[in-house]
Amino acid sequence: MAYAIAYVIFFLYFCSRFARVRSLRARLMKIKYMAKIALITGVTGQDGSYLSEFLLEKGYEVHGIIRRSSVDFRERIAHLEGTPHFHLHYADMSDSMSLVKLVGKVQPDEIYNLAAQSHVQVSFDAPEFTADVDAVGVLRVLEAVRTNHLEKTCKIYQASTSELYGKVEEVPQNETTPFHPYSPYAVAKLYGYWIIKEYREAYNMFCCSGILFNHESERRGETFVTRKITLAAARIAHGMQDCLYLGNLDSLRDWGYAKDYVECMWLILQHDTPEDFVIATGVQHSVREFATLAFKHAGIELRWEGKGVDEKGIVAAVTGNGLPVTVGQVVVAVSPDFYRPTDVVNLLGDPSKAKRELGWNPQSTSFEELVELMVKHDMQKVTREHFNLAEYLEKGIVK
């Protein structure tokens, strides 16, 4: 009897040890094969959508923050919804508690803070909201990480901007160029830049700013100048719009392709040390040059006449078949509605550091390729379009 009892006790002890070893082994296996977890704020935006695709392809588990809106269709990420390892959560950059809870729940290895009121002209109309989201929002993310005691393990990427150089003090701009922000948006983003640097130094956190110059794509918001131009060129070529109204045609930008730029965000967080990087192509064009090339791809050659507010883009030749425009027709005009109280007019980035230390190729997509792919996309889009934002843009109701 005693033997039988001893045998049962030994058997139960053996089973429990075996189970514990097995669960420990399972846990170790999970750690070994566990995907990295990324949290993206601004996941529904242009960059957020490309970054999600990029990280999912790398095997990450991707979590994104969305806001409640009256329209539930999230166009840029609709194709990702429902795929495994892609999760969406309600939170808001102006709501600390929602960020603290979410960071605690997701336990991210990497946070990409892309959420922002990102339109410079709108920041003159809504400066307080812009400051809350674009400046204090960054602080809220940092504090959410500290509150959850993740500061030693969670890396943070901050979407910083060439707008910090603003009223530029040198050309081209690199990581040592002095900042001179020139809009409420840029001033808010400058706080974001400095608070990231402060937490890096004060708490030894791995947090970095990517100082990204303008990057565009077929997913670019329709009120940014490049997309406004490619959509209008496509609509004019289809007889759906008569004229495109723009602001400052002389403004110079260093335009790259958004899909190339999200790779850099990831590379910055994989670097050995937390550092800030300028991400740009090193090539500069004016708004006028962008428009000329975009219309060319839509089958309309432009010539320019006049100066300042009286400047016009006139049809010089029609190269597309059967387009409803005639030589001599004005298809681009200037409207002071699109002038800004202070405008940033000379951005040109020097990406040498990113090239050297991250091995990133700043010109994988050229300016010419970028304009072509955007126009091609929009030529197809306008044929299926119902909602006519162009009408609003033309009347100057939406900036």
Positions in the binding site for ligand NAP (CB under 6 A): 41-48, 65, 67, 69, 92-94, 114-118, 133, 159, 161, 212, 214-215, 221
Distance between CA atoms of residues 295 and 301, nearest Å: 6
- 13 as an active site residue: the answer is no
280 binds ligand GDD (CB under 6 A): no
Residue with tokens 């809350």: 132
State yes or no: cis peptide before 172, omega within 30 of 0: yes
- Near ligand GDD by CB under 6 A, which window of 4-12, 107-115, 319-327, 337-345? 337-345
- 368 as an active site residue: the answer is no
- 273 as an active site residue: the answer is no
Distance between CA atoms of residues 48 and 52, nearest Å: 6
Distance between CA atoms of residues 164 and 189, nearest Å: 7
- Near ligand GDD by CB under 6 A, which window of 66-74, 82-90, 131-139, 218-226? 218-226
Distance between CA atoms of residues 188 and 192, nearest Å: 7
| Residue 116 vs 150, nearer CB to ligand GDD | 116
Distance between CA atoms of residues 214 and 278, nearest Å: 11
Distance between CA atoms of residues 1 and 220, nearest Å: 80
Binding mask 243-262 for ligand GDD (x = CB under 6 A): ---xxx--x-x---------
Q: From ligand NAP, ligand GDD, none, which one binds at residue 138 (CB under 5 to 8 Å depending on kind)?
A: none
| Residue 227 vs 296, nearer CB to ligand NAP | 227
241 binds ligand GDD (CB under 6 A): no
Alpha carbon of 76 to those of 43, 237, 270, 279, 370: distances in Å? Answer: 9, 25, 26, 23, 18
| Residue 140 vs 220, nearer CB to ligand GDD | 220
219 binds ligand GDD (CB under 6 A): no
Q: From ligand NAP, ligand GDD, none, which one binds at residue 315 (CB under 5 to 8 Å depending on kind)?
A: none
| Residue 94 vs 147, nearer CB to ligand GDD | 94
Indicate left, alpha or beta for 85 from its phi (over 0: left) and psi (-120 to 50: alpha): left
210: Cβ contacts below 8 Å, ≥ 6 apart: 157, 158, 159, 160, 264, 265, 268, 276, 277, 279
- Near ligand GDD by CB under 6 A, which window of 16-24, 34-42, 240-248, 378-386? 240-248
Q: Which of 343, 357, 372, 385 binds ligand GDD (CB under 6 A)?
A: 343
- Which residues carry out catalysis? 161, 163, 185
